[in-house]
Amino acid sequence: MGADQQGRLPAPAGPLLIASGPVAELISFAAQLRDLRTRRPDAPAVTCGGSTLSRLELDRRSDALAVEFRRLGVGIGDMVTVALPNSVEWFVAIVALWKLVLSRVSHCDLRGL
């Protein structure tokens, strides 16, 4: 999908971004989740079967699991198998791993994600 007539590119699940040259400034998944959580914390983030997590619940549970993964020594380049059935827990684990990698790459504090 290309830029519109004003040079704006669509952002995932968010407003249009202004392109600065050939590539638009990108927003990380964790930043997008944090923004969605702030705007509507009780809105559903994940529904699987009869279980639903709000944006706030997904963010908090994935933060806690990311901290646990870090405590167990998981780091960049490590192979992690997520052996869970389709469930909200699967999404929590995947988001936690994304946050963990982001925190190691950018040296952020997970509490800020």
pLDDT (0 to 100) of residue 102: 63
pLDDT (0 to 100) of residue 25: 54
Q: How many helices (H) and strands (E) does the chain have?
A: 3, 5
Find the mean pLDDT for residues 26-36: 75
Does residue 37 lie in a domain region?
yes
At what angle are helices 29-39 and 55-71 packed, to 10 degrees?
140
**What DSSP element (H or E) covers 101?**
helix 88-106
Does residue 54 lie in a domain region?
yes
Into how many domains does the chain fold?
A: 1
Whether residue 108 has pLDDT greater than 50: no
Does residue 20 lie in a domain region?
no
Take residue 102 and report the two structure tokens written for it. 């982001």
- Give the residue among 32, 59, 31, 30 at the shortest CA–CA distance from 44: 59
Does residue 18 lie in a domain region?
no
pLDDT (0 to 100) of residue 100: 84
pTM of the model: 0.66
Tens of pLDDT, residue by residue over 55-103, are 999 999 999 999 999 999 998 888 899 999 999 999 999 999 988 876 5
Averaged pLDDT of the chain: 75
Instruction: Give the separation between CA 94 and CA 77, rounded to whole angstroms.
Output: 15
Does residue 22 lie in a domain region?
no
Instruction: Give the separation between CA 53 and CA 58, rounded to whole angstroms.
Output: 6
Whether residue 34 has pLDDT greater than 50: yes
Whether residue 46 has pLDDT greater than 60: yes
CATH number, domain containing residue 91: 3.40.50.980
Does residue 17 lie in a domain region?
no
Q: Which domain holds residue 89?
A: 29-112
